[in-house]
Amino acid sequence: MRTNSLQSKDIAHQIHPATNLRRHERVGPIVIDRGSGIYVYDDEGREYIEGLAGLWSVGVGFGEKRLVEAATRQMAKLPYYHIFAHKTHEPSTLLAEKLVSMAPANLKHVFFTSSGGEANDSAIKFVWYYNNALGRTDKKKFIARQGAYHGITIAAGSLTGLQANQRGFDLPLPFAKHLTCPHYYRFGLPGESEEAFTERLAKELEDLILSEGPDTVAAFIGEPLMGAGGVIVPPVNYWQRIQEVCRKYDVLVIADEVINGFGRLGTLFGCDTFGIRPDILVCSKQITSSYQPLAAVLISDEMYQAMADQSDRLGTFGHGYTASAHPVATAVALENLAIIEERNLVANAAEVGAHLHAGLSRFADHPLVGEVRGRGLIAAVELVADKATKARFDPVGKVGLKFFDRAHQHGLIIRNVGDSIAICPPMIITAAQVDELLKRFKATLDDITDWVNAGMPEA
């Protein structure tokens, strides 16, 4: 590591999310200097295919001049203003209207935040406020799933079902309850069909609601397709059965579309893919392709009317952030959504995504590959120690981390979730670029196979 380099300054002063801080001190950062299309480049000029679209989020790719220009125009006109106390501005108003036109038909009202975690935190408060408005003061518990990711604030982090995001933080809080991860490959019982697995999970949900008391359970939250937990595709009829149980006991359904939304699955929203009619929809990431921090909470008119009446009784709706509906972020979002529509990127995610999955399926017979899964332009390849028994490596994550590190040497950035290798490229990717991604993936897998066969030496 170069003396007095940016790397050494980073190690000295910056705390990195989702990182082993001591390991970071030992290995140091890769400094990403610029991006273009599906590629990013480090400060020494090395090229990488950004196979995770940043953090599941750079839909239109890197270096999109139209987004830079949209931000510049808005910066020059109105770089900041709030929407507190009866103020508004054009980009946030037009974006709210646009989102309502795109979302499931029952969602009519929009609240903006700067991140998906803030948005899910706000959704929790909205549900509590709504139930208080209706006099249902005990109906406050939330049901999520193991393996889910909903953010890392204290409240949203309680909904998250990943222990790595909770250990050491005294989470989850008691209001959050967790059910079995809907991953048939990993949690289906021997001889259990996928349909029977779905029925077992639906019964588990109903049993939990009854044991907690329906008058205490407020909402069920789920990603249509689970992202950061390992790209988990729900089993057959899962969302239909979950919604039936929730409606039976007057439990709200919240769709966390932070990763799924705006075309990632080859449909506009994950709700479209899996037939979900949510009471609340949360979106972020690809809303601006992460060129600006922005997220949105969309709620039904029924919820809004009760909340509006409550604010009238109390004198105000006492919630909001300094950067809520930031004019630059919302202006960039409008331009980003226009690009997604004009370039047919939702259809591209479906078409090129099919090419990606066909290519990855060629690894299904590899001795280290347990499952290949995904939908549209999001996929995962789960690596296992024993293909026949699905046995995991011990410790879990050692092989995935080695794959993550080694992929950089082949010019590929992916993400390991334990020993599942997640792939989520920008939605502008072409079939030819997918082929190059697969070539780099195979080279990495060949290296990892040799390493595993050599006994996984530390050096």
pLDDT digits (tens, 9 = 90+) for 27-70: 999 999 999 999 999 999 999 999 999 999 999 999 999 999 99
Of the chain, the percentage scoring pLDDT greater than 90 comes to 99
Q: What is the mean pLDDT of residues 261-280?
A: 98
Q: What is the mean pLDDT of residues 150-160?
A: 98
Q: What is the mean pLDDT of residues 253-260?
A: 98
Question: Contact 273/74 with Cβ under 8 angstroms?
Answer: no
Q: How far apart are CA 23 and CA 29, in angstroms?
A: 10
Question: Contact 20/164 with Cβ under 8 angstroms?
Answer: no
Give the architecture (CATH level 2) of 31-60+344-453: Alpha-Beta Complex (3.90)
Kindly report the average pLDDT of the chain as a whole number. Answer: 97
112-to-117, 222, 338 alpha-carbon distances in Å: 12, 20, 19
Confidence tier at 279 by pLDDT (50, 70, 90): very high
Q: What pLDDT is recorded for position 2? A: 54
Q: 103 CB contacts (<8 Å, ≥6 apart)?
A: 269, 281, 298
Region(s) of the chain under CATH 3.90.1150.10: 31-60+344-453
Nearest to 74 by CA among 343, 284, 342, 325: 325
Question: Contact 317/307 with Cβ under 8 angstroms?
Answer: yes
Q: What is the mean pLDDT of residues 138-158?
A: 98
Of the chain, the percentage scoring pLDDT greater than 70 comes to 99
Q: What pLDDT is recorded for position 223? A: 98
pLDDT, one tens digit per residue, over 58-114 is: 999 999 999 999 999 999 999 999 999 999 999 999 999 999 999 999 999 999 999
Which residue carries 């939605």 as its tokens? Answer: 427
Region(s) of the chain under CATH 3.40.640.10: 67-342
Q: What pLDDT is recorded for position 3? A: 52
Confidence tier at 257 by pLDDT (50, 70, 90): very high
Q: Is 8 helix (H, G, I), strand (E, B) or coil?
A: helix
CA-angle at 361, arms to 343 and 162, nearest 5°: 80
- Give the burial string for 266-286 (b: 16+ CB within 10 Å, else e): bbbbbbbbbebbbbbbbbbbb
Q: 115 CB contacts (<8 Å, ≥6 apart)?
A: 151, 284, 293, 295
Q: Is 255 helix (H, G, I), strand (E, B) or coil?
A: strand
Q: What pLDDT is recorded for position 4? A: 60
Q: What pLDDT is recorded for position 459? A: 66
Q: What is the mean pLDDT of residues 366-377?
A: 98
Terminal-to-terminal C-alpha distance of the chain: 18
Q: What's the sign of the alpha-carbon dihedral 119, 121, 122, 128?
A: positive
Which residue carries 């170069």 as its tokens? Answer: 2
* Tokens, residue 78: 């109105």
Q: What is the mean pLDDT of residues 402-423?
A: 98
* Tokens, residue 73: 């125009």
Q: Does domain 67-342 have CATH number 3.10.580.10?
A: no
* Tokens, residue 118: 């803030």
